[in-house]
Amino acid sequence: MSHDHDHDNELDPFAARVRALETILTRKGLIDPAAIDVIVDTYETRIGPRNGAKVVAKAWSDPAYADWLRRDATAAIESLSYTGRQGEHMQAVFNTEDTHNLVVCTLCSCYPWSVLGLPPVWYKAPPYRSRAVIDPRGVLEEFGLTLPTTKKIRVWDSTAELRYLVVPMRPDGTEGWSEERLADLVSRDAMIGTALARQPA
């Protein structure tokens, strides 16, 4: 809405409908406005890709943890107190010399919230959702990631029940680094598969 109002307020139609739902559901005792505020705060400020970066850094540093993450990512991630709210299962997919992994949700926007927060706009937009499966190599190039043609790209389509976390390859030259320092090399996009881990400066 671009026009200004000095004398009265206007709710945009979407805001009015959301308020209407809140009013109706609160009166029915189905939601608690205070709980709604807590959820918003959690997703805006507390949950984000730092969680996933810590999972990856631990897997890089601790072979036993990496093995657990490979076998039962749901439990391995929960052990760090990053718990999914939707009862979803997690699967960690590890990049290797031969294979690069890329995650999409062709259906809607399923995403591993507990470790990455809420998805970026492009992840939810039709071009990525439709093209990641058909032309993953082309999509990665648009992200500035050109992989050798010998490298296989495996695309994982998320669902409401199963979400994927890409474990990028650990960059060379990081031997002996602490998990904290390693985590700084792990971007959100690296855990979706549209980037690699950062190289150490």
Partner 1 sequence: MSRREANGPAVDLPLGVDAAVFAEPWQAEAFAMTVALHDKGLFSWSEWAQALSAQVKKPGAAIDGHDYYEHWLAALESLLVSKGLAAKADVDAMAEAWERAAHATPHGKPILLENDPRPTR
Residues that bind partner 1 (CB under 8 A): 1-2, 5-25, 28, 30-32, 35-37, 39-40, 43-44, 85-88, 107-110, 117-118, 120-122, 124-128, 139, 142-144, 159-161
Report whether 100 contacts 132 (CB < 8 A).
Answer: no
* Element (DSSP H or E) covering residue 166: strand 162-167
Secondary structure of 9-48 as H, E, C letters:
CCCCHHHHHHHHHHHHHHHCCCCCHHHHHHHHHHHHHHCC
User: Which one of the listed residues 81, 108, 130, 187 is annotated catalytic?
Assistant: 108
Beta strands 152-157 and 99-104, pairing class: parallel
61 labelled as ligand-binding?
A: no
User: Does the annotation mark 109 as catalytic?
Assistant: yes
Whole-number Å distance between alpha carbons of 97 and 91: 20
Nearer to partner 1, 76 or 116 (CB): 116
Q: Residue 187 catalytic?
A: no
Residue of 116, 113, 150, 145 lying closest to 132 (CA atoms): 145
Say whether 105 is catalytic. yes
Select which of 105, 114, 130, 187 is catalytic: 105
Residue 79 marked as a ligand binder: no
User: What's the min distance (Å) between Cβ of 171 and partner 1?
Assistant: 21
Across the strands, what pairs with 129? none
Q: Tell me if residue 158 is catalytic.
A: no
In the bound state with partner 1, the residue whose beta carbon lies nearer, of 39 and 75, is 39
- Least Å distance between CB 186 and partner 1? 17
| Alpha carbons 170 and 26: distance in angstroms, whole number | 48
Among the listed residues 109, 158, 178, 187, the single catalytic one is: 109
81 annotated to bind ligand: no
Pick the closer one to partner 1 by CB: 94 or 122.
122
Residue 108 assigned as binding residue: yes
**Locate tokens 């995650």: which residue?**
103
| Residues tagged active-site | 105, 108-110
